[in-house]
């Protein structure tokens, strides 16, 4: 029963988890702990990198101790130690990376460097239903909005992406515009519950093709953000906040669902997987399930507990790599604030990728 101690500090969540493969083939999270910094960063309306790095340094040792204690495990008993090394805030990434490499060296355990987005893709394997490739993944988070095809051999190919703001970033910015606080996703969802999502007509941003027409799967949310600003400016006080939030949430959901399903159908993929922090949005989950059922596409969604940044998903990704033959990365592997998912395989070469 292989097991991995995983660490995650790519942004503003300090996290540790112990993940193993059970005898029945399922992935099991034996223990997972997260120390959130949301309240502290909310004062500034977004993540302050220097504060995030300091809090990771303070929180991570205790989280590791708690995970090992709850799992009744010792570091010498785990098969590998994993940490997120890209992409993310460079200073924040260094905390988990240095900690993981140090523990690996001290306890003679292999070190697995994990791409953060690969962790999100692996989070669906922590659900009761495990998707069978080939399938399409809608990765929708604070920093990324992408459509990724996962082949039978595990190869990943990006079929669609946002050309500006990610969906989660747009939620944060619009929530700030409406005075709803940070993080924006939960704040807008709460405000939208009592609102009319069809009251305000908002644009579904599209990306033009050089030869004419529009890219069928790519996203753009910057125009939507600007349209929200103009709409808010045109309102009299008090602002119809609930209707504004609901209208914004509805158009984002419509765009994500429409283009994801079109991509799946065009590429003959019968299963659609949704992961990432925005995948926790109730309207998005319900709309995707309803529309997919009508089109005969199966849907798998990461468990709510593993949608936002966490170490369990990093452990799941590391275990999948371990089982595919990866036996460690160079202890000289650093971190990268920007590193394409298409280059994730390079993390497992003998020479460090960066």
Whole-model pTM?
0.94
Phi, psi of 219 (to 5 degrees): -125, 155
Q: What share of the chain is helix, strand, coil (3-state, %, to 5)?
A: 45, 20, 35
Helix axes 184-192, 241-266, angle to 10 degrees: 110
Same fold, 3-122+307-348 and 129-301: yes
Beta bridge partners of 2: none
Q: How far is CA 137 from CA 121, 149, 168, 353, in A?
A: 7, 6, 16, 25
pLDDT at 152: 93
Q: How far is CA 208 from CA 122, 169, 211, 287, in A?
A: 32, 22, 9, 26
pLDDT one digit per residue (tens) for the chain, 354 residues = 899 999 999 999 999 999 999 988 899 999 999 999 988 998 888 899 999 999 999 999 999 999 999 999 999 999 999 999 999 999 999 999 999 999 999 999 999 999 999 999 999 999 988 899 999 999 999 889 999 999 998 889 999 999 999 999 999 999 999 999 889 999 999 999 999 999 999 999 999 999 999 999 999 999 999 999 999 999 998 999 999 999 999 999 999 999 999 999 999 999 999 999 999 999 999 999 999 999 999 999 999 999 999 999 999 999 999 999 988 898 899 999 999 999 999 999 888 889
What CATH number does the domain located at 3-122+307-348 have? 3.30.420.40
Q: Is there a contact between 148 and 124 (Cβ–Cβ < 8 Å)?
A: no
Within 8 A by CB and 6+ apart from 275, the residues are: 120, 121, 123, 124, 137, 138, 139, 140, 301, 302, 307
Q: Is there a contact between 116 and 87 (Cβ–Cβ < 8 Å)?
A: yes
Choosing among 3.90.1150.170, 3.30.420.40, 2.40.110.10, 3.40.50.2300, the CATH entry for 129-301 is 3.30.420.40
Residue spans per domain, the chain? 3-122+307-348, 129-301
């Amino acid at each position: 029963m292989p097991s991995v101690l995983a660490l995650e500090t790519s942004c503003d969540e300090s996290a540790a988890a112990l993940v193993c493969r059970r005898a029945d083939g399922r992935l099991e999270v034996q223990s997972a702990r997260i120390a959130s910094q949301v309240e502290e960063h909310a004062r500034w309306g977004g993540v302050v990198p220097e504060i995030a790095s300091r809090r990771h340094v303070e929180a991570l040792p205790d989280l590791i101790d708690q995970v090992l204690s709850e799992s009744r495990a010792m570091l010498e008993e785990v098969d590998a130690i994993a940490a997120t090394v890209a992409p993310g805030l460079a200073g924040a990434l260094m905390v988990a990376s240095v900690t993981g490499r140090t523990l690996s060296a001290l306890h003679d355990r292999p070190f697995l460097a994990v791409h953060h987005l690969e962790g999100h893709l692996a989070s669906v394997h922590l659900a009761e239903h495990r998707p069978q490739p080939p399938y399409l993944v809608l990765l929708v988070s604070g920093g990324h909005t992408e459509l990724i095809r996962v082949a039978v051999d595990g190869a990943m190919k990006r079929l669609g992406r946002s050309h500006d703001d990610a969906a989660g970033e747009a939620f944060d910015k619009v929530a700030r515009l409406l005075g709803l606080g940070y993080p924006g996703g939960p704040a807008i969802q709460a405000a939208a519950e009592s609102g009319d999502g069809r009251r305000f007509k908002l644009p579904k941003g599209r990306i033009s093709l050089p030869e004419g027409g529009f890219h069928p799967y790519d996203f753009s949310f910057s125009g939507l953000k600007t349209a929200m600003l103009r709409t808010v400016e045109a309102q009299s006080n008090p602002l119809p906040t609930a209707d504004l939030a609901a209208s914004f949430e509805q158009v984002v959901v419509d765009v994500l669902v429409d283009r994801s399903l079109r991509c799946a159908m065009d590429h003959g993929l019968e299963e659609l997987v949704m992961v990432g922090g925005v995948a926790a949005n109730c309207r998005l989950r319900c709309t995707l399930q309803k529309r997919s059922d009508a089109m005969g596409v199966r849907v798998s969604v990461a468990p709510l507990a593993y949608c936002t940044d966490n170490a369990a998903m990093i452990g799941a990704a590391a275990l999948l790599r371990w089982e595919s033959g990866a036996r460690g990365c160079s202890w000289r592997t650093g971190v990268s604030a920007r590193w394409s998912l298409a280059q994730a395989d390079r993390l497992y070469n003998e020479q460090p990728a960066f």
